[in-house]
Amino acid sequence: MKQPPKFIRAVDEKTGRIFIFRTRNPAYFGEVFEFDNEIKALELSVNYPCGSRAWHNGKHYVFILNRFLDPIDKPETQTEADELARLLRRAIDWYIQAIIKKEDLK
C-alpha cells in the first residue's frame, strides 16, 4: 500500500488560513503565516515558541504548531529540544519548496 505524502497543505476557503499536516510519526499540524515585514514575523514567533521561521524572496514565513497528533515526550535535554526544532522546521521548509517555489515558477 502506498504511503501518504509526508506533508499535506490545507487552505480554509472562507478565511484563507493555511495549515500544514505532517502525516508521519510524530504527526502534527500547524498554521503558516506570511509577512512582508520581518518585524511582524518576529513579533508573532516570539509569542508562540513552538514553531519555525523561514525567508524566501523578500517574504517571511512563520509556522506555528497547533498540536501533535501522536504523543511525544517533552524535551529534557538541549539535544532533544534541537531535534524537536528540526522536526518543526521541516514543515516550513517543505511549504517553501513544494508550494511557494512552484508558485514562483508560474
Check residue 103 and give its pLDDT: 79
DSSP string for residues in 29-77: EEEEEEES-HHHHHHHHHH--SEEEEEETTEEEEEEEEEESS--PPP-S
Q: Could you read off the pLDDT of 22-46 as tens digits, one per residue?
A: 999 999 999 999 999 898 888 887 8
Helix (H) or strand (E) holding 81: helix 78-95
Within 10 A of 54 (CB to CB), how many other CB atoms are there? 19
Check residue 106 and give its pLDDT: 64
Q: What is the DSSP letter of 12?
A: -
Q: Give residue limits of the domains in the chain.
A: 7-105
Q: Is the pLDDT of residue 104 over 80?
A: no
Q: Could you read off the pLDDT of 42-91 as tens digits, one per residue?
A: 888 788 777 899 999 999 999 999 999 999 998 999 999 999 999 999 99
C-alpha to C-alpha distances, 22 to 17, 44, 47, 51, 71, nearest whole angstrom = 17, 22, 22, 13, 14
Q: What is the pTM of this model?
A: 0.86
